[in-house]
Structure 1
């Protein structure tokens, strides 16, 4: 069995630069997706809170 090591020696300088750019783009996209998910969660939580407060106010008014 031969021992294999993985390195970038088979990739050209342009290929390494392209990979570096691709990694940063993917990281930024993942962060953006996470931020969108957090914003959606926060908006939904605020909406549900407003609905609950309105129901509670209606119950208190009806008593």
Structure 2
């Protein structure tokens, strides 16, 4: 059984539509980068906080053992 697919003709954009599309894509990419950078900063800040808490806990525990 042969299947028949009809190819849709390519949608031709006007220069104004193309510029609007490109501007929207650029804005979306910039927003995605801002969100990514904010997530990375939050991750690293949290990691630093947890490392400091662990070091303080280990120092406290080491002080108890040596007493």
Structure with higher RCO (Cα < 8 A, 6+ apart): 1
- 1:5-45 deviation digits (Å, cap 9, x = unpaired): 333x1x33222111110001101111111111111100000
Unpaired segments ≥5 residues, structure 2 = none
Q: Which runs of 4+ in 1 moved over 4 A?
A: none
When normalised by structure 2's length, the TM-score is 0.79
Unpaired segments ≥5 residues, structure 1 = none
When normalised by structure 1's length, the TM-score is 0.83
How many residue pairs are counted as aligned between the two chains? Answer: 61
Indicate the SS of the match to 1:38: helix
